């Protein structure tokens, strides 16, 4: 491990906005299976981290926190939490938030598989999945928009909670759309090319919460490092927003993974590195 990374890890310990729980804080010892226990912050983010009762929005797989910070700067009345497992990446966002005195930004270093240990019922209003790893050859359950993950998100989201997916992966977009349709979830917005000539016209952003103009700015006005690279290559950026409300278990969709892998092409090896981020 390089000296620069060690320095970042040491500085991470000084950031109040960055929570880095140990595995023992959320895993039950002695269990043969993965069993989670609640972290003390669960249900207490507003009081313990932010000192207010404002809505909370998560970015899962936030990398350096570019989207988390940009949204927080646009909406000081909302609290934003970026979640990622990579400490060296989180250092960038946590340092920026600290140096710029952003009171509505926090970061959580953990595996997204452990997310239910950190958030209580009705604690989160929205989730952003920004350029997540599409897991082209992995199981459905490894995708952050799978029924398994949606069930976890539902356990801590408010009624009417919204999930946003922004990705350069047509495979992941189409997979998520198949999940949404199989479960009859309410689609608030969708586009296979948000920067195309017709992205802001017609019904694409016309029935969104928050207001269409605000959502359009959040989707197109914030661009991560990799997103800019994709756009320079001429790759379309896709987006959808849907309401997570659903009674009963989420069902798994019929999805032609082989076809959409062929549509995806070889660019995945370039655009997505391990742990998938900006």
By annotation, the residues acting in catalysis are 133
Please state, in angstroms and rounded to a whole number, the distance separating the CA atoms of residues 211 and 209.
5
Q: Are 164 and 200 in contact (CB under 8 A)?
A: no
Please state, in angstroms and rounded to a whole number, the distance separating the CA atoms of residues 198 and 195.
8
Please state, in angstroms and rounded to a whole number, the distance separating the CA atoms of residues 22 and 49.
18
Total residues belonging to the chain:
278
Rounded to 10°, the helix 87-99/3-12 angle is 50
CA 226 vs CA 53, 167, 231: distances in Å? 33, 10, 9
């Amino acid at each position: 491990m390089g000296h620069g990374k060690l320095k970042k890890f040491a500085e991470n310990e000084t950031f109040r906005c960055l929570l880095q729980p140990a595995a023992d804080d959320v895993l039950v010892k002695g269990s043969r299976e993965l069993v989670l226990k609640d972290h003390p912050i669960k249900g207490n983010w507003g009081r313990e981290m932010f000192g207010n009762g404002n809505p909370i929005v998560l970015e899962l797989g936030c990398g350096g926190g570019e989207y988390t910070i940009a949204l927080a700067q646009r909406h000081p009345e909302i609290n934003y939490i970026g979640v990622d497992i990579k400490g060296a990446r989180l250092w960038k966002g946590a340092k920026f938030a600290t140096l710029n005195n952003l009171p509505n930004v926090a970061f959580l270093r953990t595996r997204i598989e452990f997310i239910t240990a950190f958030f209580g019922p009705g604690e989160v209003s929205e989730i952003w999945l920004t350029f997540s790893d599409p897991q082209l050859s992995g199981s459905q359950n490894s995708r952050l928009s799978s029924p398994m993950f949606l069930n976890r998100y539902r356990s801590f989201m408010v009624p009417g909670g919204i999930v946003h997916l922004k990705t350069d992966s047509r495979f992941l977009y189409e997979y998520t759309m198949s999940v949404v349709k199989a479960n009859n979830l309410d689609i608030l917005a969708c586009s296979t090319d948000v920067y195309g000539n017709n992205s802001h016209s017609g019904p694409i952003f016309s029935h969104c919460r928050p207001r269409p103009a605000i959502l359009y700015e959040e989707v197109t006005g914030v661009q991560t490092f990799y997103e800019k690279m994709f756009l320079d290559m001429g790759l379309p950026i896709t987006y959808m927003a849907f309401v997570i409300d659903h009674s009963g278990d989420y069902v798994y969709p019929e999805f032609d993974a082989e076809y959409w892998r062929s549509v995806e092409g070889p660019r995945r090896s370039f655009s997505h590195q391990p742990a998938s981020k900006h």
